[in-house]
Structure 1
């Protein structure tokens, strides 16, 4: 009985160790929230800010009270400004990411929609959000990975964005170490099972 339990345990070791190694090696992506409060003077959002590429956009960030353009958190927020349009609103991810959403405020009657792209393919669009002076969260409702956001509005100069939230798909550095440790465990168990 004892030998059969030992044999059963050794036969299950590898099939159980492999999923365990993969589970340990999988990175738990932590969310990044860009609130613009770490930026200094008012001005264009820096080209490489927060793991995103803003170089093809005209996003401007600023601080200070200005109704109805309320920040969701802190004091800073971003706007497309007077020259903003769908063409100049694109923000690119430096690595494919899952996009959660962002907070928006603006004049009554102004609406915002975000198109989500992977490569050159439109993979999803958010709902259309009608704005007010109280910030409202616009969720992506898309679980896949994207590499570009394009913002559409009926009046791009009259809304602000804050707390843009996403999670990068790039594994954390510790994930590789955990994966190697799991594979080492699998190799150790396999070696011990070999008959002498």
Structure 2
């Protein structure tokens, strides 16, 4: 009984050490800004930027057209005129922190974001009434999401540019740390069994 208790303490200590150090090791992240400048005019590809745009009906264009100004470069995207909010959903392949995007367009198209995780709404952003000068609409949420819905009073009356999100990326040494912790647990278990 005493041996088993000692073994259990050793295994727990090694496991706790491994789990406690993993979040710090996995703290690297990649911020992605989709500028849409690399797209041909037309329907946005469903997997553009590693995201699922398939339900959204977004269209890319680069021809100058006031008040639908690009924030950077010439590319930007828009939704179908008077589309419903649900058709503007953008899904991430993995859980992500969504930062926001730039918008320009007709005044009165009042925009906002609704953020979702696992099908549950976790946050609604502030609102933005667009103009010809592109303005950034921040998500206002630092947690993880897997879907963003762009809401507007008048879909098709705005353009979106520089869609920005941040994904956590495990660093190679985090896998080595996990393996070392598991090996330590295995060695401790083996020693106890051989005694």
Unaligned runs of 5+ residues in structure 1 are 1-13, 191-196
Please provide the CA RMSD for this pair.
2.9
- Cα deviation for residue 83 of structure 1 reads 5.4
2:5 corresponds to: none
Q: Does residue 1:38 correspond to 2:38, yes or no? A: yes
Q: Distance in 2 between matches of 1:103 and 1:152?
A: 14
- Per-residue deviation, residues 38-71 of structure 1 (Å, max 9, x unmatched): 22x2111111111211111111111021100011
CA deviation profile, 1:153-178 (whole Å, cap 9, x unmatched): 11111100001111124x33525345
TM-score by length of 2: 0.78
TM-score (norm 1): 0.78
- Confirm or deny that 1:137 pairs with 2:136: yes
Structure 2 equivalent of residue 4 of structure 1: none
Give 1:1-196 correspondences, 5 Å limit: 21-22=21-22, 25-39=25-39, 41-82=40-81, 84-169=83-168, 171-172=169-170, 174-180=172-178, 183=181
Give the match's secondary structure for 2:22.
helix
Equivalences, count: 179
Structure 2 alignment gaps of length 5 or more: 1-13, 189-195
- CA deviations 1:118-159 (Å, max 9, x no partner) are 112111011110111000000011111111111111111110
Query: Does the residue aligned with 1:87 lie in a helix, a strand or coil?
Result: helix
Cα distance in 2 for partners of 1:47, 1:163 equals 17
